Amino acid sequence: MKEMIYQTVCPGCNIGCGLYIRESEEGALVVDFMKSSSANLGKLCRFGMKLPHYYSKATNVVDGKEADIKTAVKAASDKLKGAKNVAMLAVGATTNEEHLAFTKIADALGTVVNTGIGAYEEIPSECHPSISQGIPLDDIEKAGRIALFIDPYVQYPLLVRRLLAAKKNGATIVSVGCRDLNLADENLSINPADYKTELGLDSNSIIIADVHPHTDPEQVKNLLNLSLMTGAKIIFMKPFVDSTGVHLFGKGVGQKGLQEIMDGINDGSIKTLVTLNSDLLELMPNTDEAAKTLEKLDNLVVITSRDSPVNKLANIVIATESLYAKAGSFMNVEGQVLNNSGESTVGIDAMSILSKNLGGEAFDFHAIHDKMMKSVVQKFTAPKYSKLECKVMETAAPAENGGNLISVYNPFMWCDQPDDNDFVIVNMKMVDKLGLQKGSMIALTSDAGSVNVRYTVRDIPDGLILTMKKLPVVTGNSTVVKAEAV
């Protein structure tokens, strides 16, 4: 009986929850609690508890046929050598080291690695550090007043205990959003123009918001302004475990968001796409449409540790070891470097060969790891809050498309994992209006199609429908849908 135990970090968001993965001889995975992890004391959310599903192993594929990793790397080298119109995408769902390795391939190809968050491009670069690295999570518990622009219960559940602790310590919590939060003292639904006057923030306050690939940059600017004008600290949560790391290692210029990449493929300016642990089918709101777009590519090279839907569309899949087994580190939202205990370097080694074949440099894990530790991490040895280094920006109101079906992005939505969340949330008025019966379904129709889903009743603003699961009718953050009783 030999059991392997890995110390690793949950890939669900960039809180960086520590956990153990126990792997039996037969390969069965069990999650165990790492109570010494300072980010989460071993506690995990629903997504963390279901990680064995997430860690499904990928297989190497060349043109639809199973292959070994050598063949796959060779085939990828051949395809990419001299390729024009290449785009590379890595959102940060893997280690710092793999990401650095990936940027070396980008160097060899003469391009940059996109991290998929388009909002960065719209915002002055001196603000970027404050977006990418937040505050120590412990500081949340000491705040006087907290303004929430996220739904912690659904999106970043491990913040719930921080917020409750803050409340116990005397903080007041005000939530701006469409769902009344149980832990908030006040639940407001207000416009950005009124943030400063209505929220009552000062230098002892903390703003908690998030940035993800579909975030409206105007909203980010509004929140940065709010922080600048009130002196409140700000923390932006992000949906991928190494979102902070990839930003630090990225070139930071010429970044494309996911939508821009999709547009580029559609208009023919991108012919070849190389991705690292980033599945556009999972990340785009509408899976079918994303699939149609990706089919237009000449070459789709996927480097991944997971068996995710995009692998089926890829010309070449280079399958790396599961995330928990990798040698490497992650950087969480606090700027803390968290290490994996795994020692496998299959992914790095494959990328090294690929880089060399493309005329770039070869490397090994230790060289990359040392470089990472030296060049960037020194600045982040102790997580602390760096004050915003920018001026108040001109902003417009966030673009409104008047949609009534709102997507609440959470780890399950990003990764399209099976969960008990196949329902939408409506309020009692809508139930009465549509004449919904207990246990019946609600039919949603948009330009993208129609679907019947279950519903549940909560106290939300009139006319809105919330979904925590990717529905085939969804086209963006909010979608105009027609709702009827089935």
Partner 1 sequence: MTEREWTPKIVAFCCNWCSYGGADTAGMGRFQQPASTRVIRVMCSGRIDPLHVFNAFLEGADAVLVTGCHIGDCHYVNGNEKTQVKYQFLEEMLQQLGLEPDRLHLNWISASEGERFANFINEVTAKVKELGPSPLKPAGVR
Partner 2 sequence: MVKVGDMLVGYATDENVRSRGASGGLVTAVLAAALEKGLVENVVVMKHINEFEAVPIVTDNVEEVLASTGSLHSVPVNLAKYAMGRKVAMPAKPCDAQAVIEQGKRGMIDLDNTYVVGLNCGGSMHPVTTKKMLVEMYDIDPEDVVGEEIEKGKLIFKTKNGEEKAIAIDELEEAGFGRRESCRFCTLKIPVNADLACGNWGVIGDMAGNATFCQVMNEKGVKLLENAIEAGRIEVQPASEKAIAIRAKVNSVMEDLGSTLEKEIFPDIPDEERMQYYMEQMEDCIDCGACKEVCPVCACGEDSKCTMFHSLVDNYKMSMYHMVRLLHLSDSCIACGQCSDVCPSDIPITLLQSRFSIPSQRRRNYQPGINLDTPPFFEVILK
The footprint of partner 2 (CB under 8 A) covers: 1, 3, 5, 7, 20, 31-38, 40-46, 48-49, 153, 157-158, 160-161, 164-165, 182-183, 420-421, 423, 454-458
Is 431 a binding residue for partner 1 by CB under 8 A? The answer is yes
**Reduced to 3 states, what is the DSSP secondary structure of residue 371?**
helix
**Reduced to 3 states, what is the DSSP secondary structure of residue 143?**
coil
Q: Which does 5 bind (CB under 5 to 8 A by kind): partner 1, partner 2, none?
A: partner 2
Cα separation of 9 and 132, whole Å? 18
Q: Which of 393, 448, 457, 480 binds partner 1 (CB under 8 A)?
A: 457
Determine phi and psi for 439, rounding to 5 degrees.
80, 0
Nearest by Cα to 91 from 346, 345, 308? 308
- Shorter beta-carbon distance to partner 1: residue 278 or 427: 427
Residue pair 346/78 in contact by the 8 Å Cβ criterion: no
**Reduced to 3 states, what is the DSSP secondary structure of residue 89?**
strand
Q: Which does 20 bind (CB under 5 to 8 A by kind): partner 1, partner 2, none?
A: partner 2
- Shorter beta-carbon distance to partner 2: residue 123 or 425: 425
Number of Cβ within 10 Å of residue 428's Cβ equals 13
- Shorter beta-carbon distance to partner 1: residue 391 or 429: 429
> Which helix (H) or strand (E) element contains residue 218?
helix 217-230
- Shorter beta-carbon distance to partner 2: residue 7 or 315: 7
- Shorter beta-carbon distance to partner 2: residue 368 or 442: 442
Cβ at position 459, least distance to partner 1 in Å: 8
Cβ at position 431, least distance to partner 1 in Å: 7
Q: Which does 385 bind (CB under 5 to 8 A by kind): partner 2, partner 1, none?
A: none
- Shorter beta-carbon distance to partner 2: residue 164 or 362: 164
Q: Which does 364 bind (CB under 5 to 8 A by kind): partner 1, partner 2, none?
A: none
Cα separation of 59 and 115, whole Å? 24
Q: Which does 40 bind (CB under 5 to 8 A by kind): partner 1, partner 2, none?
A: partner 2
- Shorter beta-carbon distance to partner 2: residue 52 or 472: 52
Cβ at position 35, least distance to partner 2 in Å: 6
Report angle CA 242, 51, 94 to the nearest 5 degrees.
25
Q: Which does 229 bind (CB under 5 to 8 A by kind): partner 1, partner 2, none?
A: none
Cβ at position 60, least distance to partner 1 in Å: 48
Residue pair 176/190 in contact by the 8 Å Cβ criterion: yes
Q: Which does 182 bind (CB under 5 to 8 A by kind): partner 2, partner 1, none?
A: partner 2
Tokens 């602790």, residue? 165
Q: Which does 157 bind (CB under 5 to 8 A by kind): partner 2, partner 1, none?
A: partner 2
Which amino acid is located at 171 in the chain? A
Cβ at position 302, least distance to partner 2 in Å: 31
Number of Cβ within 10 Å of residue 240's Cβ equals 29
**For the chain, how big is the Rg over CA atoms in Å?**
22
Q: Which does 48 bind (CB under 5 to 8 A by kind): partner 1, partner 2, none?
A: partner 2
Cβ at position 430, least distance to partner 2 in Å: 14
Q: Report in angstroms the alpha-carbon separations of 50 from 53, 115, 377.
A: 6, 26, 31
- Shorter beta-carbon distance to partner 1: residue 158 or 436: 436
Nearest by Cα to 236 from 159, 174, 183, 184? 159
Cα separation of 348 and 362, whole Å? 10
Cβ at position 180, least distance to partner 1 in Å: 13
Beta pairing partners, 176: 188
Nearest by Cα to 204 from 238, 231, 184, 169? 231
Cβ at position 174, least distance to partner 1 in Å: 24
Nearest by Cα to 6 from 463, 14, 27? 27
Is 428 a binding residue for partner 1 by CB under 8 A? The answer is yes
- Shorter beta-carbon distance to partner 2: residue 146 or 310: 146
Cβ at position 438, least distance to partner 1 in Å: 8
Is 485 a binding residue for partner 1 by CB under 8 A? The answer is no
Which amino acid is located at 484 in the chain? E
Q: Which does 183 bind (CB under 5 to 8 A by kind): partner 2, partner 1, none?
A: partner 2
Helices (H) and strands (E) in the chain, counts: 17, 24
Cβ at position 430, least distance to partner 1 in Å: 12
Q: What is the DSSP letter of 393?
A: P
Which amino acid is located at 185 in the chain? D
**Reduced to 3 states, what is the DSSP secondary structure of residue 2?**
coil
Q: Positive or negative CA dihedral for 291, 293, 299, 301?
A: negative
- Shorter beta-carbon distance to partner 2: residue 375 or 452: 452
- Shorter beta-carbon distance to partner 1: residue 94 or 427: 427
* Contacts by 2-5, CB closer than 8 A, 24 or more apart: 5/32, 5/341
Cβ at position 428, least distance to partner 1 in Å: 5
Q: Which does 431 bind (CB under 5 to 8 A by kind): partner 2, partner 1, none?
A: partner 1
| Binding interface with partner 1 (CB under 8 A) | 428, 431, 457
